[in-house]
Amino acid sequence: MIIARIAGCTRVLGAPAGWTPETSGPCLGLPIRDEVNGDLPCMVSAWEPTPAELRAILSGAKIMLRIVGTGHPPVMLYVGDPA
């Protein structure tokens, strides 16, 4: 997936404290939009599939979410409006 610039970006997240690119790989800046969903503070980022990923999705591949760490935060995945 390719990190996309999200409309209404409010900030860009960097690598977390203690991140080691040599062992964990690169951690690029992630543009996010802070918003409130109901009474929940949320951060929204936008992602664009590569052509190969889009072909795989269209062929039935699942979209996977990987969380770094041992606790799973609440997450929401959805499809945004067409650009």
Q: Please check whether residue 39 lies inside any domain of the structure.
A: yes
pTM across the whole model: 0.83
3-53: pLDDT as tens digits: 999 999 999 999 999 999 999 999 999 999 999 999 999 999 999 999 999
For residue 30, tell me if it sits in a domain. Answer: yes
Contacts 24+ apart (CB under 8 A), 3-7: 3/28, 3/29, 3/30, 3/31, 3/45, 3/46, 3/47, 4/31, 4/45, 4/46, 4/47, 4/48, 5/31, 5/46, 6/31, 6/32, 6/33, 6/44, 6/45, 6/46, 7/33, 7/46
Number of domains in the chain: 1
- In this structure, is residue 48 part of a structural domain? yes
Q: Is residue 65 part of a domain?
A: no
- Judge whether 81 lies within some domain: no
Enclosing domain of residue 41: 2-58
Residue 12, in any domain of the structure: yes
Predicted local confidence at residue 34, as pLDDT:
98
